[in-house]
Amino acid sequence: MNEEEIFRDLVILSLLFEIIMIGIIIYMQVLLYKYKCKIYFIKRDRERCHELLFSAKDGYFCFVYPDQKVKDPQKGIVEKCSRRLSVMLGLKNGTASSFDEIADSFTKEDARILKKYVVMLKQEGLAFEDILALKGKHRYVCVYGNRVNGRDNNLYCDTVWFREVTAEAARLADLENEKQSIKHSLKQYENMVDGLNYPLWLRDENLNLLVVNKKYLEYSGLSSKDEVLRKNVELSNGKGEAVAKKIAQEAQKTKKIQKMTFNMAHKGELYNYEVQETPYFVGDILDKIGTVGYLNDITELEKAKRNFRINQNNHLGILSALGTAIAIYDSKMKLFFSNTSFRYLWNLEAEFLEKTPTYLQFLDNVREHKMLPPVPDFKAYKEDEMSIFDNLLEPKEDLLHLSDGRTIRRLRAPHPNGVIFAYEDVSDRLATMRRLNELTSMQQNILDNLTDSVVIFGANQRLKFYNKAYLKLWSIDFVKLQDEPKLEEIIAYQKLFFSNIEDWDTFRQSMIANITEGRKFNLSRDDNVKIDVSPQIFYDGSIMITYTIK
């Protein structure tokens, strides 16, 4: 091989080497570019992750561990504080703050709890969550911690997250207070319902029992309300029929209150009961209807009704025999009862009374017979008479001066059936009273025309009559004599005329003794007036005293 061939071969080899090196360089540059791109995107992803963490609502504090394949993860731990956390807690050192600074932001007790949580997280990887209070700020933070491991179970970090929940805590506190208030109210309602002395219950739209009170439990014979509701135990009558549920079905169907009375044995005795079921709409759904029911013991009421009917019959029997005209009108103003005296007093036909006329029909009837008092406006008179049925609260008495000359004393009073009317013809009594008043007036005129002073006492020694001469003689104000004073009081008024008497009481008793025994005696007053006193005792025990001036 000559030199030219050797040089040519070297040139070829050199070119081949350069080509190979250029290819290697290009390949390495491509690999470097790809590596740089990978590093770029890794950095971008890490930056995105960091920014994502920084933008999170929660702040965090990380304990970052080194790769355990390289060194012990419990050594060389790096602590990291997020910007959000430093702002949330107002840390002076910002993201460079230590965990102790963070713990110091909480109250003493909650800082101790937080440190204990973190120790358990770092040593045993135990996650936690709690709400802790910041120191002196009335703020609350939800703190929760967790451990982050890789797919190869390599320990990455322990992270403690912080989220401010002051508003949520306040809302929870309000809800808790509201819950306790509702529980208290429900307990009060339960106590109120349990305090009722009769069974009470609530049904759902299927008429199953939802709520029962303590008295219902007693009637059911079971030991607890839960057992009653679980077994849906109904109260039954003597035949074992669930009467209440039957009534509830009717109330649900008609949407109206339903009642029923029945007999049922309780504690070995038979009682009368009234059961009532009242429908109600379940929630806002109008096609779902439940009921509220109760059981009322009406045994004593039924006994009272029977006794009332017996007493009423006896009462009406007595009224029938009375000479006083009696009529009873019910609340609808219809005649409930009248006796024979009522019929004769108003000259009514038996057929008319048998039709149980109203009070207005009675007024029209007696007006036709011209037996009512003359009134200018009969319509207004009837309206006034009818008002008594609505306004009468206590007995009311008046006089009716009839057209036929009679005077009727009328008494109207409330009655269990309505209003009772009692009528009495007092025409003769009033005439007698008029004659008596005329006689009394005549006697008074006679006494007033006497020269001597005269005073008359009744058998009870109370003043009955006196004349003007008596008032003048003893200078007594007639007002003092209006209440019919006793004899000893009248004598006491005379004390002003006997100031020279040392022992007035003895002197007064002496005068009273002479008067009551009918003995005459003399008086000498301070004004030198001499008086003869002449007492006279009548057959009925009344006393007349005559004072004559000498």
| Nearest CA-CA partner of 424 in 447, 450, 397 | 397
The answer to the question of residue 187 being in a domain is no
Helix axes 378-386, 359-368, angle to 10 degrees: 150
160 pLDDT more than 90: yes
Residue pLDDT, tens place only, 15-26: 887 888 888 888
Q: How confident is the model at residue 446 (pLDDT cuts 50, 70, 90)?
A: low
Residues 23 and 64 placed together within one structural domain of the fold: no
- Residue 198 has a pLDDT of 86
Burial level of 5, CB count in 10 A (0-12/13-18/19+)?
exposed
319 pLDDT more than 80: no
Residues 222 and 287 placed together within one structural domain of the fold: yes
What type of residue is 538?
Answer: F
| Nearest CA-CA partner of 385 in 405, 402, 363 | 363
Task: Dig out the tokens for 344 from the structure.
Answer: 């004769």
Q: Which of 262, 297, 332 is the last residue of a domain?
A: 297
Q: How confident is the model at residue 31 (pLDDT cuts 50, 70, 90)?
A: confident
434 pLDDT more than 80: no
Mean pLDDT throughout 5-12?
Answer: 75
Q: How confident is the model at residue 143 (pLDDT cuts 50, 70, 90)?
A: very high
Q: In degrees rounded to 5, what are phi and psi of residue 183?
A: -60, -40
Q: Indicate the range of 66-75, 239-248, 353-362, 480-489 predicted with least confidence.
A: 66-75
Q: How confident is the model at residue 397 (pLDDT cuts 50, 70, 90)?
A: confident
Which residues have CB under 8 Å from 327's CB, separation 6+? 335, 337, 338, 339, 342, 362, 420, 421, 423
Q: Which of 149, 170, 191 is the last residue of a domain?
A: 170
The answer to the question of residue 175 being in a domain is no
Mean pLDDT throughout 409-424?
Answer: 85
Counting the structural domains of the chain, the total is 5
What are the angstrom distances between the C-alpha of 41 and each of 28, 44, 46, 47, 54? Answer: 20, 5, 8, 9, 19
The answer to the question of residue 466 being in a domain is yes
199 or 448, which is more confident?
199
The answer to the question of residue 439 being in a domain is no
- Residue 45 has a pLDDT of 64
Whether residue 370 contacts residue 404, with contact meaning beta carbons closer than 8 Å, is answered with: yes
Q: Which of 170, 189, 222 is the last residue of a domain?
A: 170
- Residue 441 has a pLDDT of 63
Q: How confident is the model at residue 463 (pLDDT cuts 50, 70, 90)?
A: confident
Which CATH number does the domain housing residue 387 bear?
3.30.450.20
Query: What is d(CA 523, CA 531) in angstroms, rounded to the nearest whole number?
Result: 5
- Residue 126 has a pLDDT of 92
404 pLDDT more than 80: no
225 pLDDT more than 90: no
Residues 288 and 338 placed together within one structural domain of the fold: no
The answer to the question of residue 290 being in a domain is yes
Percent of the chain with pLDDT over 70: 85
The answer to the question of residue 183 being in a domain is no
Residues 281 and 228 placed together within one structural domain of the fold: yes
Residues 453 and 418 placed together within one structural domain of the fold: no
- Residue 8 has a pLDDT of 75
Q: Indicate the range of 69-73, 165-169, 367-371, 520-524 predicted with least confidence.
A: 69-73
386 or 6, which is more confident?
386
492 or 55, which is more confident?
492
Residues 69 and 162 placed together within one structural domain of the fold: yes
Helix (H) / strand (E) containing 162: strand 155-164
Q: Indicate the range of 134-143, 308-317, 451-460 predicted with least confidence.
A: 308-317
Bridge partners of 436, per DSSP, are none
Q: Which residue has the tokens 């004598």?
A: 491
Residues 383 and 407 placed together within one structural domain of the fold: yes
Helix (H) / strand (E) containing 249: helix 243-254
59 pLDDT more than 80: yes
The answer to the question of residue 421 being in a domain is yes
Residue pLDDT, tens place only, 533-544: 889 888 888 888
Instruction: Measure CA 244 to chain center.
Output: 28
Bridge partners of 293, per DSSP, are 201, 277
Residues 281 and 385 placed together within one structural domain of the fold: no
Mean pLDDT throughout 24-35?
Answer: 83
Residue pLDDT, tens place only, 255-304: 899 998 877 766 666 778 888 999 988 877 677 888 999 888 877 776 76
- Residue 231 has a pLDDT of 87
Domain that holds residue 126: 56-170
| Nearest CA-CA partner of 74 in 123, 119, 116 | 123
What is the DSSP secondary-structure string of 349-404?
-HHHHHT--BHHHHHHHHHHTT-SPP-S-HHHHHHHHHTHHHH--S-EEEEEE-TT
Query: What is d(CA 40, CA 341) in angstroms, rounded to the nearest whole number?
Result: 125
- Residue 536 has a pLDDT of 87
Residue pLDDT, tens place only, 89-134: 888 999 899 999 999 999 999 999 999 999 999 888 899 999 999 9
Mean pLDDT throughout 482-498?
Answer: 85
Residues 283 and 241 placed together within one structural domain of the fold: yes
Q: In degrees rounded to 5, what are phi and psi of residue 385?
A: -65, -40
Residues 394 and 478 placed together within one structural domain of the fold: no
Q: In degrees rounded to 5, what are phi and psi of residue 430?
A: -65, -35
What SS3 state is found at 212?
strand
Query: What is d(CA 164, CA 56) in angstroms, rounded to the nearest whole number?
Result: 12
Task: Dig out the tokens for 102 from the structure.
Answer: 């963070």
What is the DSSP secondary-structure string of 113-151?
HHHHHHHHHHHH---EEEEEEBTTS--EEEEEEEEEE-T
Residues 216 and 147 placed together within one structural domain of the fold: no
Residues 37 and 86 placed together within one structural domain of the fold: no
- Residue 307 has a pLDDT of 64
Mean pLDDT throughout 435-442?
Answer: 61
The answer to the question of residue 69 being in a domain is yes
Mean pLDDT throughout 231-252?
Answer: 83
Q: How confident is the model at residue 432 (pLDDT cuts 50, 70, 90)?
A: low
Residue 240: left if φ>0, alpha if ψ -120 to 50, beta else—which one?
A: left
- Sign of the dihedral defined by the CA atoms of residues 285, 286, 289, 294, in that order: positive
What are the angstrom distances between the C-alpha of 40 and each of 25, 27, 33, 54? Answer: 22, 20, 10, 21
Q: How confident is the model at residue 443 (pLDDT cuts 50, 70, 90)?
A: low
